[in-house]
Amino acid sequence: MHLIVAEKNISARRIAEILAEGKKVTEHKDAGVSTYSFGDITTVGLRGHVVEIDFEPGYQNWRSEEYTPRSLIDAKTIKVPTEKRIVALLQKLARKADRVTIATDFDTEGELIGKEAYELVRAVNPRVTIDRARFSAITKQELQHAFANTTELDFALAAAGEARQSIDLMWGASLTRFISLAARRGGQNILSVGRVQSPTLGMIVDREKEIEAFVPEKYWQLALTTEKAGEQIEARHTHGRFHDKQEAEAARDRTREPLLVTEVREGTKQDRAPSPFDTTTYIVAAARLGLSAANAMRIAEDLYMNGFISYPRTDNTVYPASLDIDGILRTLRTSPFKKDVEWTIAHRRPVPTRGKKSSTDHPPIHPTGAGTREQLGDDAFKVYELVLRRFLATLAPDAQWKTLKILFEAGGEEYTTTGGQLVEPGWHAVYPFSEAKEVLLPAFVTGEKLPVRNVILDEKETQPPARYTQSKLIQRMEELGLGTKSTRHEVIAKLVSRKYVEGNPLRPTLVGRVVTESLEQHADTVTKPDMTQTIEAHMQQIKEKTRTREDVIKESREMLHAAFDQLEANEQIIGDDIRNRTAEEMNLGKCPVCGGMLAIKHLRGNTQFIGCSRYPECTFNIGLPMAQWGFAVRTDEVCDKHQLNFVRLVRKGARPWDIGCPLCHHISSNRESLAEMPSMTPTLAEKLLACHLYTVAELARSAPEDLAKRLGVPVADAARLTAEAAAMLEKLRRRSECRKFLRDHLIPRKGRSYAKIMESLKSHGVTELAGLAHAKAETLKSAGIGEAEAAQVLTEAKTVYYGQVLREMGIPAVSLKKYLAAGFITPDAFCELGPATLSERTGMSVGTVQKHIALVCAALGRQAPKKVSKLQAEKGRKELLTVKGLGETLAEKLILAGVTDGKSLLAADPQSIAAETGISRQKILDFQAALRRKKEIIEI
């Protein structure tokens, strides 16, 4: 079998479909992984990297004394499979193969992925032939050529990729761990540092500082409007910017009619057709269509996999001679852009345009197949159209402009205006994405005099440099050699997801800035692009085989050790600095009660809340959901009413949960429970808010005298309010207990909402555990709880509820456990069953049990069964034994059921005693009859 290994499942399928040339392709699934077979050939797709490098075991513990952050620099790494099922299937197929072709993407990353597959194959089949197919587009022509001309895997290229992987892991892991530990941050709060990421962040921070340090300067611009052939025309003063206001005003005042045309300069301008797309220019163009860099790349990759465009990761801006441009144009004639394609064919320039960068690995990004909007969907079609039209533009002629420059003079002041007319649209005809704005001017003649309608003096200010947009940043990264065409957009996405930068254009967050500045101060190699550039140069040397991978990694280790020398010496300062400065990011605004600072507080164990800086003097606080529902952060939005920053809960992989203004949230979540208090009126509720009393708990805690003063009501009213609040608080506590009980006892299920269940139960009057313990099975059923589960929940509810009741009655917890274990759940059982029964079943002494019975009966207001002394008990027992047919064993059973003597035997209900003891009802009736007879004899 000939096994072809592709980079992804979708490319494996496409490769099979194309190479099969109409033969039937069969798809097989093995543990969820697909293979595609025809004839002797089988293709399988990886999922990019199927193994990853990680440190040897032991380094995972952050707090380890032995494995310090610095020790990660020299730590040994291992390869661990990340896609176990794919690895297993690949090896299973490799055992049976007599030829394996690696057909992963054609670049450093693809070569490394290919080498990983190579090693997995070799491990199980040391002798199989392994070759490599390289192609830049998943099209018939490219694939046939690639598979007819396979080569060897490029181990030098793969080694460059491996070196980058190791260095990235080593830098990222050691520095992230060092900084996070120094700043005492863990979990979702860690501060990540990365080889490319940190210098990129550094650029964004630097730009922000430039903007802050920028002092705007005023300047003035002078313009006038005139009229010709009924058209308003504006002309600018030739001086340009005036930096002196008086000078500008003087020029304005000298400007008088008539406006004399002193010169008319006509010219032509060539507007060169754009050069082919490399990754960066493509991302910049896609940004104009509103696509982020990451999105633009994701869509382009999809289009590549499906054969619509060529490989989108390329630095090349020159079409190679081998590219079949005629063939592509023929293919594109079947696309929805047929007309533009035909126009291009008819007007084709002799040689396509070319950019400055030429490399041999991939051609510039170009279309390879015909696609329609229905096939691709809106966004992908937009990108497809962009790539297609850019391709046409590079084949189209240059555009020609006719330019016109008019010089004027008015009162000795010189003015000018310019116009432009597109006389030959050229490439603009097929590429509408670049602006070609025409300014048409009427004809002017030298010496002509015109009126001055208006003289305008504009006061302006110089502007600070602009923040980076994603595409500008990618261009700048490229200039500085930061990252690669494949990784730049990912680095930016990472900075956003780690909350180091936000918005577009990008600006640093406080944390992003603090971390950068700390590193700059103490280990600037980490934030300067130089180090990264050096490493990129080293990668190139590995590719060219002038240096080894080991050698390069060794040098990188030394650089990192030098950085750690500085960092470790300043650990304390760095940590304190970051902690002190980032505390601010949690501040929300003024405390409504005392004017202190409200801030989000994160405690250990997932607890988070909003508290006041004047605690403990001010105890105002707002509860927040536990951090597992989302880590609370501040947003930029501010409440109009309370001037507090909004709060948002963020969780990895989940949509953020917006709490909004924390005080508005606090008020609305307490409104209902306050309203439930009997004396609450809307006016009173308003008054409470005005006095900064937001919760039932605060009311319940208040001293009536204080409350009376604050609200301006009589003390008696205030006392009633606090009493009502205390009762309400207890009610709320019981409700939340019931909610918690349901959450603990009902298995979470898809579509199951505890809030909905509570609501349904509430409509049946069940809000507390007591109600639940006595609820009917139908009530639970109507809340969506199944029969078996409902029965279990009811029993559990009874156990928990009566457990509480009994504890309140004074039964100690240890004893209670024993009663529950013996199956005594309700207080009634204590009064109805005799002490002997309880004692026997629980193993506690009769005396103890009797004490408990007395407590329960007193609480229920019932009479406790009489205490029985040992002597009496013995007497009763003997009495029972005198009854005919009643032996030791049966007497024991009766005593346990509370039948302790002759009198109680006569009084007992045979039915229930039978059920209790297991002695038949008839037998008990017989005993009673026998005893009665005996008594009659004695009485006679």
Smallest distance from Zn ion to CB 502, Å:
22
Q: Is 79 helix (H, G, I), strand (E, B) or coil?
A: strand
Smallest distance from Zn ion to CB 611, Å:
8
340, containing H or E segment:
helix 338-347
Q: Which is nearer to Zn ion, 100 or 633 (CB)?
A: 633
Q: Which is nearer to Zn ion, 21 or 617 (CB)?
A: 617
Q: Which is nearer to Zn ion, 371 or 589 (CB)?
A: 589
Residue span binding Zn ion (CB under 5 A) among the ranges 374-382, 595-603, 773-781, 853-861: 595-603
Q: Which is nearer to Zn ion, 135 or 694 (CB)?
A: 694
Residues between 833 and 892 that touch Zn ion (CB under 5 A): none
Smallest distance from Zn ion to CB 691, Å:
14
Residue span binding Zn ion (CB under 5 A) among the ranges 36-44, 133-141, 546-554, 619-627: 619-627
Q: Which is nearer to Zn ion, 23 or 641 (CB)?
A: 641
Q: Which is nearer to Zn ion, 589 or 704 (CB)?
A: 589
Distance, in Å, from the CA atom of 307 to the CA atom of 317, rounded to the nearest integer, reads 20
225, containing H or E segment:
strand 218-228
Smallest distance from Zn ion to CB 671, Å:
13
Contacts 24+ apart (CB under 8 A), 131-135: 131/99, 131/100, 131/101, 131/102, 132/101, 132/102, 132/103, 133/4, 133/101, 133/102, 133/103, 134/106, 135/103, 135/106
Residue span binding Zn ion (CB under 5 A) among the ranges 78-86, 218-226, 229-237, 613-621: 613-621
Distance, in Å, from the CA atom of 329 to the CA atom of 370, rounded to the nearest integer, reads 10
Q: Which is nearer to Zn ion, 664 or 713 (CB)?
A: 664
Residue 422, beta-bridge partner list: 401
Distance, in Å, from the CA atom of 863 to the CA atom of 877, rounded to the nearest integer, reads 24
- Residue tagged active-site, from 118, 311, 319, 431: 311
Residue span binding Zn ion (CB under 5 A) among the ranges 435-443, 548-556, 616-624, 706-714: 616-624
Residue span binding Zn ion (CB under 5 A) among the ranges 297-305, 422-430, 499-507, 591-599: 591-599
* Active-site annotation holds for 59: no
Smallest distance from Zn ion to CB 646, Å:
9
The separation between the first and the last C-alpha atoms of the chain, rounded to the nearest angstrom, is 110
The three-state DSSP-derived secondary structure of 191-209 is CCCCCCHHHHHHHHHHHHH
Q: Which is nearer to Zn ion, 410 or 612 (CB)?
A: 612
Lay out the site mask for Zn ion across 539-578 (x = CB under 5 A, - = otherwise): ----------------------------------------
Binding of residue 594 to Zn ion (CB under 5 A):
yes
Smallest distance from Zn ion to CB 622, Å:
11
Residue of 110, 121, 193 lying closest to 154 (CA atoms) = 110
φ, ψ (nearest 5 deg) of residue 609: -160, 175
Distance, in Å, from the CA atom of 707 to the CA atom of 700, rounded to the nearest integer, reads 10
Binding of residue 693 to Zn ion (CB under 5 A):
no
Binding of residue 618 to Zn ion (CB under 5 A):
yes
How many C-alpha atoms does 931 have within 13 Å on its Cβ side? Answer: 22
Distance, in Å, from the CA atom of 826 to the CA atom of 373, rounded to the nearest integer, reads 71
Binding of residue 591 to Zn ion (CB under 5 A):
yes
Residue 43, beta-bridge partner list: 4, 36
Smallest distance from Zn ion to CB 620, Å:
5
Question: What tokens does 669 get?
Answer: 């979540």
Distance, in Å, from the CA atom of 217 to the CA atom of 820, rounded to the nearest integer, reads 83
According to CB under 5 A, which one of 304, 319, 431, 620 is a site residue for Zn ion?
620
Q: Which is nearer to Zn ion, 590 or 851 (CB)?
A: 590
Distance, in Å, from the CA atom of 138 to the CA atom of 385, rounded to the nearest integer, reads 18
Smallest distance from Zn ion to CB 608, Å:
18
Handedness of CA 324, 325, 326, 330 (dihedral sign): positive
Smallest distance from Zn ion to CB 664, Å:
3
Burial 783-796 (b: 16+ CB within 10 A, else e): bbbeeebbeebbee
Residue type at 462 in one-letter notation = T
Smallest distance from Zn ion to CB 668, Å:
10
Residue span binding Zn ion (CB under 5 A) among the ranges 409-417, 537-545, 583-591, 840-848: 583-591
According to CB under 5 A, which one of 612, 677, 708, 721 is a site residue for Zn ion?
612
DSSP secondary-structure letter at 277?
Answer: B
Binding of residue 597 to Zn ion (CB under 5 A):
no
Q: Name every residue whose Cβ is closer than 8 Å to that of residue 783 and which is 6 or more positions away in sequence.
A: 756, 757, 760, 761, 764
Size of the site for Zn ion (CB under 5 A): 14
Smallest distance from Zn ion to CB 665, Å:
8
**What angle is formed at CA 705 by the lines to CA 700 and CA 709, rounded to 5 degrees?**
105
Burial 696-721 (b: 16+ CB within 10 A, else e): bbbbbebebeebbebbebeeeebebb
Q: Which is nearer to Zn ion, 546 or 643 (CB)?
A: 643
Smallest distance from Zn ion to CB 706, Å:
17
Instruction: Evaluate the omega torsion of the peptide bond into residue 464 and state whether it is cis, within 30 degrees of 0.
Output: no
According to CB under 5 A, which one of 81, 411, 596, 625 is a site residue for Zn ion?
596
| DSSP secondary structure of 788-819 | HHHHHHHHHHHHHHHHHHHHHHT--HHHHHHH
674, containing H or E segment:
helix 662-675
Residue 52, beta-bridge partner list: 80
CB 592 within 8 A of CB 574: no
Lay out the site mask for Zn ion across 633-672 (x = CB under 5 A, - = otherwise): ------x-xx------------------x-xx--------
Q: Which is nearer to Zn ion, 452 or 667 (CB)?
A: 667
The three-state DSSP-derived secondary structure of 849-875 is HHHHHHHHHHHHCCCCCCCCCHHHHHH
Distance, in Å, from the CA atom of 588 to the CA atom of 662, rounded to the nearest integer, reads 9
Q: Which is nearer to Zn ion, 143 or 663 (CB)?
A: 663
Neighbours of 193 (CB within 10 A): 24
Smallest distance from Zn ion to CB 644, Å:
6
Distance, in Å, from the CA atom of 376 to the CA atom of 216, rounded to the nearest integer, reads 48
Residues between 23 and 52 that touch Zn ion (CB under 5 A): none
Q: Which is nearer to Zn ion, 179 or 612 (CB)?
A: 612
Instruction: Evaluate the omega torsion of the peptide bond into residue 258 and state whether it is cis, within 30 degrees of 0.
Output: yes
Cite the active site residues.
311
What is the contact surface with Zn ion in residues (CB under 5 A)?
A: 591, 593-594, 596, 612, 614, 618, 620, 639, 641-642, 661, 663-664
